[in-house]
Amino acid sequence: MPHTPEPNEYDDLDLTPAPTPVHYAEQALLGALLLEPTRLSDTEPLIAQHFDSHTHAALFTAIRTLPPPDPADHAKDTAWLNAVLDHARPNAPGLNASYIHSLIQFCPQPKHAAAYARMIRADNARRVLRGHAERLASTAADPGLPNPAAATLGMADDLGRVLDALAEQFAPHPGSFPRTPLPADVPRPAGEEDLDEERLLLATATAYPAEVQHMRWLTEADFLQPLHAMLWQSITALVHRGDMVDPITVLGEAQHRGLLTGTLTPEDLIALVSTPAGSPEYWGEKILQRALLARAQTVAARITAYTEDLANTPHQLVTGSRRALADLNSLRIRWMRATAPSPTPAESQPARRGQQPRATGPPPQPALLSPRAHR
C-alpha cells in the first residue's frame, strides 16, 4: 500500500538552501576534467581548498593526484573514472558512480574549464574574506581578552594581508567600488561602568589640565555620552587657549556652549568635574580603546555585508574592504599615539596620589592566519 505522507512531514525540505552559483561552477569544472583530464592545466592556480563542497574538493584532489589517462583509452573505457572514484571515496563516503557520470553530463563546454575555475576561486575569496571579518568582530567583542586592542588590531592586520594577497590574484576593472548598502554602525551600549570612566576623565582632566595638553589623541567622537563629549570639548578648549582650568571655569565655558539646561544645573556640573581619581591618560585610554573596539566591529559588519552581496566581484570586495579598514586605521593611529612609551622615564616623574596605571601594556605579536582558510 502506498505511503501517504502526514501533514507537514516534508515541510523541512523547504528549509534546504538553494545551491549558489559556485555549486554549478564546481560541477561544470569537475565534469570537464572527468571528460577531458588534459584540461587540468587550464585550472591553475586552483587547489582543492578553494572548493565550497567537500565532496567536490575530494574529487578534484583525486583528479590531480592520479596520472592522467591516455586520451584514446579514456574515450573507450571507464577505468580512469573508476580509479578517481576509488581514490575520492575515503574522503567523500557518499560519492558514487552515478554522480560521476551526472557531472560529465552537466558540463556545458569542457573547453571553458578555466572560466569555471575562476568562478570557484572568486567564491573562495569571498568566503575567506568573510571568515576573517567574522574573526575580527568576535575578537573585538570578546570581554575576556587581556589586551583586546592589540588582539583586535592583530586581526585587522591579518585581514589586510588577505586583501593584499587577493589584490594580486584578481585583476582590477572599472566600477571597482561595491554598491552594497552599508549596515548601520554597531551600537555602542553605555554601561554604568563605562559612563563612570567618562565622568572620572572629566574630573581628573579638570584637576590636572597640564596632562590634557598631550591628549590630542582623544576626540569627542570617542565618548558614549554626548554631554560628556561636549564637556570634554569645553575642558580642552580652556587648556589649548592657555586659560585657567578648575570646576568654576569649566562651568563658565559650558555655559557659553549652551550646556546648562533644566536637566543639568550648575551644581550638577560642578559636582561632575570635582571628584578626580587617577590620571586623565588612564581614563582617556580606556575610552579610546572602547571606541576602537566598536569601530572594529562596525568595519567587520561592513566587510561581511560586502561578502554577502553576490553581485560584488573579488576586486570590488578588496576595494570596499580596504576603504572600511581605513576607518579603523585612523583610530589605530590615535591609539598608538596614546599608548606610545613616554620619552621621560617614569622614575623621574613624581607619583600622584591615586594615580592609575596605563590602560594597556605592550601589544603581543598577532598570530598569522592563512589567507586561504577554508570553512
Whose cell is 560519492? That residue is 95
**Structural contact between residues 62 and 87, judged by C-beta atoms closer than 8 angstroms:** yes
Q: Is residue 203 part of a domain?
A: no
Q: Is the pLDDT of residue 7 over 50?
A: no
* Full domain range(s) for residue 61: 14-108
Angstrom distances, CA of residue 294 to CA of 180, 202, 297, 334: 21, 21, 5, 15
Confirm whether 337 is domain-assigned: no
Which of these ranges, 7-21, 181-195, 270-284, 289-303, has the smallest mean pLDDT? Answer: 7-21
The count of domains in the chain is 1
Contact partners, residue 270, CB within 8 Å, separation at least 6:
247, 248, 251
Is residue 349 in some structural domain?
A: no
Q: pLDDT of 302-312, one tens digit each?
A: 999 999 999 99
Average pLDDT, the chain: 88
Question: pTM for this structure?
Answer: 0.82
User: By the 8 A CB rule, do 52 and 26 touch?
Assistant: yes
CA distance 132 to 162: 8
169 lies in some domain: no
Confirm whether 189 is domain-assigned: no
Q: Please give the average per-residue pLDDT across 112-134, as a whole number.
A: 97
Q: Do residues 257 and 230 lie in contact, with contact meaning Cβ atoms separated by under 8 Å?
A: yes
53 within some domain: yes
CA-CA distance, 138 to 294, in Å (whole number)? 11
| pLDDT of 319 strictly over 90 | yes
Is 49 a domain residue? Answer: yes
Q: Does residue 57 lie within any of the structural domains? A: yes
SS percent in the chain: helix, strand, coil, step 5: 65, 0, 35
| Three-class DSSP labels, 288-352 | HHHHHHHHHHHHHHHHHHHHHCCCCCHHHHHHHHHHHHHHHHHHHHHHHHHHCCCCCCHHHCCCC
